[in-house]
Amino acid sequence: MDPLAQLKTIHLPEQINNYPLAYGWWILLFTLCLVCVLALKKYLKYRSNCQVKRQAMKSLKEMDLDVEQLISLLKWAALHYFPRQQIASLSGEKLLAFLTSSLPTKQQEVFTRLFQPTLVKRYQRDEQHQSTDDLSTAVMLWLENALPPSKQIRKTFEESEQHESTKVSGASA
């Protein structure tokens, strides 16, 4: 007898269509979904935080603003990100000091060089039309680099505001 004749033909087992996923895949899927949701939430928060900055830059690019309007635009943008009590009353050299201190150190010198002549000539009577090119450049530089402020800068300004408020309350008592 031939032992090969007794062999049956090779047949493949039935294919499994709906096998359950291993726990590791479910954990990976859940983690990816969680990361996507958190990233989307962070992006939306960043986008809403930068909305005032985008509006200010858009109005600066689209409109031809004079010196007063440019300074008002700067203060308007700053009021949205910094404590109102600290910024609303600033003008002149104090405003320049605040704006400069909220910039990174690399841009402070350039900003001061562009913004300083405007403060000097702001209330002088000038027969010629004052050029706002340098001031527009300074405003754009400040908007791009100072807004939205980092947590460290914001914390510094909030601490100085609290310090001033304790001084005022201590002086009035």
pLDDT at residue 127 in the model: 44
Give CA–CA dist 168/48, Å, rounded.
Answer: 34
| Whether the predicted pLDDT of 70 surpasses 70 | yes
**Main-chain dihedrals φ then ψ at residue 50, nearest 5 degrees:** -95, 5
Q: For the chain, give the percent of residues with pLDDT over 90.
A: 14
pLDDT for 14-26, tens place per residue? 887 777 788 999 9
Question: What are the angstrom distances between the C-alpha of 29 and each of 25, 26, 33, 34, 119?
Answer: 6, 5, 6, 9, 58
> With 90 as the cut, is the pLDDT of residue 143 above it?
no
Domain boundaries, the chain: 20-49, 51-123+131-172
Quick check: helix, strand or coil at residue 118?
A: helix
pLDDT digits (tens, 9 = 90+) for 18-60: 777 889 999 999 999 999 999 999 999 989 888 988 998 899 8
For position 114, what pLDDT does the model report?
86
Q: pLDDT tens for residues 103-125?
A: 888 888 888 888 888 777 766 66
Phi, psi of 116 (to 5 degrees): -55, -45
Q: What is the CA radius of gyration of the chain?
A: 31
